[in-house]
Amino acid sequence: MSKKIVLLIVFVLTVGIFGGFYNSAMSENDVIKTTSLNIVANPNKFLNKKVKFQATFDKFSTLGLDYKKALRPSSKYIGILIQRDDVVDHNIPLSEMKLFLKKELAEKHIDLDTGDKIELSAVVFSTALNDPWLDVEELTVIKKAKKEEAK
């Protein structure tokens, strides 16, 4: 074999290997921008995918913690509830969506109030009970709720 052919084969193999790493890294960083209601309506579509959506914070919760089929232990995680986007005249939590934050992340947002607008980046790690179960990786406060004045 000529030296040029050997170098060409080595080059093609190298590009293929590094191209594969590049493509897998790109797919791991892909984020699907969507809505909470879309995720609840199609949980299997989002399984093992990273999603980003905006929501209205409702409250911290223990809902779903320690459930063996989608285990997130209460010793390391806290749950949050967000409000339904399709109800505007009163507050109804979207309890079908199980959102979990590591306690370290939750402690950074201990001052969250009901009604605060937030943006979440999370991974759907389970569809147990046909509900989406998400690990929140990032939480950003977009707008604080107006505090009602005491009369």
Kindly report, residue by residue over 56-83, the tens digit of the pLDDT. Answer: 999 999 999 999 999 999 999 999 999 9
Quick one: CA dihedral 64, 79, 43, 39, positive or negative?
A: positive
CA distance 100 to 104: 12
Mean pLDDT value across residues 21-44:
78
Report pTM.
0.78
Query: What does the pLDDT read at residue 146?
Result: 85
Write down the H helix ranges in 62-138. 103-108
Across 53-57, 69-73, 124-128, 147-151, least confident range: 147-151
